[in-house]
Each structure stands twice: as structure tokens, then as C-alpha cells.
Structure 1
Amino acid sequence: MSRPLQGPSRRLLLTGALAALSAAVTGCSSDGEASSSGGSKRLRIGYFAFPSGDLLVKNRKLLEKALPDYKITWIKFDSGAGVNQAFLGKSLDIAALGSSPFARGVSGSSPIPYKVAWILDVAGENEALVARRATGISDVAGLKGKKIATPFASTSHYSLLAALGTAGLKPSDVELIDLQPQPILAAWQRGDIDAAYVWLPTLDELRTTGTQLTSSKEIGAAGRPTLDLAVVSDDLIAGDPQAIDAWRTAQAEALRLLESDRDGSVETVAAELGISAADAEAQLAQGVFLTPEQVVSADWLGTEGGPGELLTYVTDTARFLADQKQIDAAPSEDVVREAFYLKGLSDVLK
């Protein structure tokens, strides 16, 4: 892939959401202590119902096999905004997170206490901008004055802003609506919105009655790629780095399985998402999955000796979000570098 590329404080904006989130994520707080807190060891892992190695690690219990003495809890999220809120509330130890919400998370005077430790996938045709066919819209420029839904603070939101800019449109030229994937589908079916930028599996449902205008694959090739990262809390890094090593090894195994055992991977994804094998295969085909060797290469995450190109990608993403007034100011490259946890990363290849 070619090189890529808030109003009041974030904490005030998140206060209400954190209160609502606590019941879902920390309602079993006695069961949810991080492994670094003492007592029996536990890991709380946030994931998305989205084709990636995460689903293989979860379904095949790769981490449970590697850490038999741990209580491991998998918590499903709908978007990166919820993941960021959960980390602010110290309700997660490890989680999937898009590169755009990660760039937001490490921005500002009070960055979220986590670090990127792995790359799950690179966004391809599995995230896209689709217009309802009934609108007759056939290109991005045709969205001027239209209602477009996307989950705010997500990779889709970032890619949508990039697509609008390339088409000569400002965010103010359209009506942007903050909706999660399932509400997007409902609004689409009611005719309340004209277009949406979202990811699988909702994306595939929109495509049945919509026209795809662009995708994250196209936007990435034009210089602004997005990725699904995996982040770990600062508390876990300080208290239980061995658990992170085991988790990375499990993720590396999952990436190898996606390449070497495609049929088995398709069955696993189908089981996790409750879809047919044919649909699971089609969804997997739309993603871009790196090999473990690529993840730790200078082209992507890098190693303890030095971060890879992901450092540039995240820094550029933050600058773009600042230019779009989505965040107050972009962090420097040095600040972003501090949000990379690369210790022991190359060990997953041994």
C-alpha cells in the first residue's frame, strides 16, 4: 500500500458516555480486575464483530490455552469511540481500535493511558461509502447537501472526511450524522439518510440497495490508509508484560491461520458472526491481513529498535483530524512515538 498518508475537553464530553458504559463493561467489576491488580489474574479484551485474527483467537481460545491460569473476558464493542471511553474508565486491558480513534486518543493534554502493540488488519473494501440507489447519487461530489451517517471518531469517519475533501467538499457542505452501524442500517431502511460510510457486516447490507462511491482501500492508496490496531493499557504494560507477549503470540498464530488454513478460518468467522460460510469468505476477502513478519517490519509497526511507518501514518492522521477541526491540536511525532509499545515484539517470530 502506498504511503499515507472538539469542543470542551474530551473528558467532559465522555463523562455521560462513561456512566452508561460502566454497567455494560464493569458491571462485574469484581470479575474484571486487570491482571496487574493482584489476586487471580484476569484480562478484559475488547473486540469487534468484524473479520480479523481477533475472532480466531477468541473462538479457538488461543489465549486461554496460552494463559490457563487467567480469567479472560471478551467484551464486544460497536466502535472505537466506545473503546476509548472504556480505557478512560480503566475497564479494558487489551482491545481492537481503529487508527483514527487511536490518533484521537493520544492527542490532547490528557492522552488515554494505552499504547499500540499490534496490527490486526489494514482497511480495504471492508469499509466503504455507499449512497442509497434511490437517490441517484453516483459520485462523492454528488453528496453536497445530503445526509451522511457514520460512527463519529471512527476510521470510517476519518475516511469519509478524506473522501469529501478529495471531492472538493467541506464537512459543512453535507449533513453529517453520528450513528453506530445498526442504527445506520435502520435509518437507511427508513430513508432518513442518503449515504453512509461504515464497515462490515452492515456495509454488505447497505450494498444490496446502494451504490458504492469509494472505499478505504481507494482512500488508502491515495495516501490516507486506515488500520485496525490493537492497544494495551499502561497498567498492563507495567504489571503484566508477559500476558502481552502471550497475546501477541496468539495474534501471530491467528494471522498465519488466515493464510494457511483459509477454510478453517472461514468456518471460525462464520461461527463467531452467525453468518454463512459464503458470507464469511466474502467478508474476509475484503480485508487486508498482514503476515506477522510484515507486522513487525519497518513498513508497518516496527520493532523495539525503532517504530515503523505506522508512526508516520498515525501522526499524519492526527494532523488531518486537527486540520478538519476534529481535534484541538495534533500531537508531535515524538508524542505519538511514546504511545507505541514495541518491547519484545520481534519475539513473536521465534
Structure 2
Amino acid sequence: MIQRSALYALLAGAAFAFGLPAQAVEFTVGYQTVPTPSQVPQADGAYEKATNAKINWRKFDGGAEVINAVASGDVQIAYLGSSPLAAAASRKLPIETFLIAAELGTSEELVVRNGSGIVKPQDLVGKKIAVPFVSTGHYSLLAALKHWKIDPKKVEIVNLSPPNIIAAWARGDIDGTYVWDPALGKAKESGKVLITSGELSKLGAPTFDAWLVRKDFAEKNPAVVAAFAKVTLDSFAAYNKDPKAWAANRTNIDKIVKITGAKAEEIPGVLAGSGYLSPDDQARTLGEPTAKALANTSAFLKEQGRIDAPLPSYAPYTNAKYVKAANSL
């Protein structure tokens, strides 16, 4: 069996053959705290080896912050949810989605506080629910209220970042939250789940997380983007081969805890509740399906007054060529 270090060396060699620059480039990657298999190679330094690059990893608490950093040019590659991605594309930012990071299931949930008096959806009326605005959690919360035929104006929806949600929950300032780990895990300690993103997906409001890249960076460094995609896809393949065995490996879980701050005991369930697409499924999805999903999400965001207007087409904001190139590495 080839050792991990040898695999990294082979991957790096293949990336050089694909056209990586002889001298290391430097770029910044924006990541978030949703647990994912790709955080294992992130912790191992595999992305740096494969891309022959100096990577500055920058943590963000929500998609709105990611959008601003990408728009300013401070971040070249970023992880964010489908709702902020749709908002960014609607602003015509110079970006393209090059990989689906996860199809969301139980990694984001609406949790209500024990003792809040919320037993059923209609009990949300008049309650204070926290969510990071223009996030997948925000989109899902509004979609859930629409499904339950609850006027969002009758719910006190407040804009808080995940760290501030944790603090507000601890103080008893909020009755519920739609969020992801580690804030999700903290809320579930003294709350109950009212609905999950996976359940909403079945009701016609799917959400996903994605990796995007600034077009100017991708045009200058296509091999770097392909190598980045390769490492991510390999982490998905390792997990999908035997999810239970992968999650039973404490080393994997410890690395995700280090990156995200999520509770170790909850990570296996979060991973199992999301979907990680194969290269072939990525290639099929990173086209019309993704463009359509962004269009549908943008229409909803317009309806909620979160964007000015949807674009005629979101096809320019999704690109499968880097995933396809990764298959040759």
C-alpha cells in the first residue's frame, strides 16, 4: 500500500505535469466551519503539496463575509453556501463555481430552545429566531416558513453570526436558530430540531455548499484550481468508500474538530447527513443543474427582498472544466 506521503508526492508530480508553475504561487482560501471530509487534507497540508502553492487559510463565519472578501480580491478560492453564492452571482461578481462541496442534509438545522414554548411550526410566530443573513440557513429558514404558511414578518428574525448565535443562545436571548456547526451543536444541547435542510430539500428547497474561484485567478492558474479540486475529490472518495469506517477513525475526526470547532461526537452524523459527489456526478451537476439551482435560489432571494433582480442566466457562474481536468491528474 502506498503511504500517504507518497500519494501526495505522486499527486504533486501529476499536477506539475498538468502545468503548475515551477515557483509556488500564493493565494488565500476562505473556508467555513461546516464539517466536511476535505478538512482532513486541509489539516494535513495536502492542498499546499498538490498545488505547489503557499495557501493562506482564512476562516469565515458566514457567506456574506465571504462574498465581500472575494469581491475585494482578498480571497481567491472560497467555500460558501448556495444562497450567498446566488447572491454573489446576482451581483455579477467575477466568480465561477468549480466544485460542489456538499449537498446539505443534517449539517444545517432549525433548532428551537427547550422551554421556549415552540412545539410546532406555528409556535414560531412572535418568537426570536437568529440566523446569519444571506446564508443557506437564512434561505432555508424562509423556505420553511413559506412551506408552513407563516408570514416571516410575524417572526422576529435577527441577523447574527454563528459565534454571536452561540453567545445569544447561552444568554437566553433567542428562541431558536437556523445554523451550522459548531453553533448548531451548542444549540442542540438544550434545544430540539424542528426541521433539517435535508427535509427541506425533499420539499423543493434544496441547498448545497460549493467551492468558487475568482475568474482572474483561475485564468492565470488553471492547474492550481484543478489540483485543488483533485485533493477535494479524493477526500470525498475516501469518505464515500466506507463512511462508517472513515468516521470511526479518530484521527479524521480530530482533524475536523481542529479546523471547525465542532463537537467530535456529532461530526459523523453531520457527515452522513450530507452528500459528497463523485467526479462524474460533479461534472454532470456543474452545468445546467447548478445554474438552475442558482436561478431558483435567486428568484426566492428577490421575492424576499435580498437581491435587486435575478440574472437572465447563471450558466457563466458554474464551470465543470476544473473537475474534468482533475480526473487527468
Match of 2:10 in 1: none
**Matched residue count:** 302
Name the amino acid aligned to 1:230: W
The equivalences for 1:227-246 within 5 A come to: 227-246=208-227
**Correspondence 1:278 to 2:265:** yes
SS in 2 for 1:115: strand
Q: Is the 8 A contact 2:98 2:212 kept in 1?
A: yes
Match of 2:120 in 1: 139
Match of 1:88 in 2: 71
Match of 1:189 in 2: 170
Q: Is the 8 A contact 2:185 2:263 kept in 1?
A: no
The 3 A distance-change label for structure 1 pair 287 and 344 is closer
Name the amino acid aligned to 1:319: A
Q: Is the 8 A contact 1:47 1:54 kept in 2?
A: no
- Taking the aligned partners of 1:135 and 1:313, their CA distance within structure 2 comes to 34
- Taking the aligned partners of 1:44 and 1:230, their CA distance within structure 2 comes to 13
Match of 2:327 in 1: 349
Cα drift, residue 187 of structure 1: 0.9
The equivalences for 1:1-350 within 5 A come to: 41-68=25-52, 70-108=53-91, 111-260=92-241, 262=243, 263-264=245-246, 266=249, 267-274=251-258, 277-297=264-284, 300-301=285-286, 307-332=287-312, 334=313, 336-350=314-328
Name the amino acid aligned to 1:128: E
Write the deviation string for residues 60-91 of structure 1: whole angstroms up to 9, x where unpaired.
222222133x2111111111111101011101
- Taking the aligned partners of 2:81 and 2:49, their CA distance within structure 1 comes to 27
Unaligned runs of 5+ in 1: 1-35, 302-306
Q: Is the 8 A contact 1:147 1:174 kept in 2?
A: yes
Write the deviation string for residues 38-57 of structure 1: whole angstroms up to 9, x where unpaired.
x8511211111221133023
SS in 2 for 1:247: helix
Unaligned runs of 5+ in 2: 1-19
What is the TM-score with the length of structure 2 in the denominator? 0.86
Identity level (%): 33
Q: Is the 8 A contact 1:155 1:226 kept in 2?
A: yes
Write the deviation string for residues 230-288 of structure 1: whole angstroms up to 9, x where unpaired.
00011112211111111111111111111236445653242232466533323322322
- Taking the aligned partners of 2:114 and 2:134, their CA distance within structure 1 comes to 26
Q: Is the 8 A contact 2:40 2:255 kept in 1?
A: no
- Taking the aligned partners of 1:113 and 1:49, their CA distance within structure 2 comes to 24
Q: Is the 8 A contact 1:57 1:254 kept in 2?
A: yes
Cα drift, residue 343 of structure 1: 2.5
Write the deviation string for residues 184-210 of structure 1: whole angstroms up to 9, x where unpaired.
121112111111110122212211211
Q: Is the 8 A contact 2:301 2:307 kept in 1?
A: yes
Moved over 6 A (4+): none
Q: Give 1 or 2: higher helix fraction.
A: 2
Write the deviation string for residues 102-133 of structure 1: whole angstroms up to 9, x where unpaired.
0000114xx22211100010110110111111
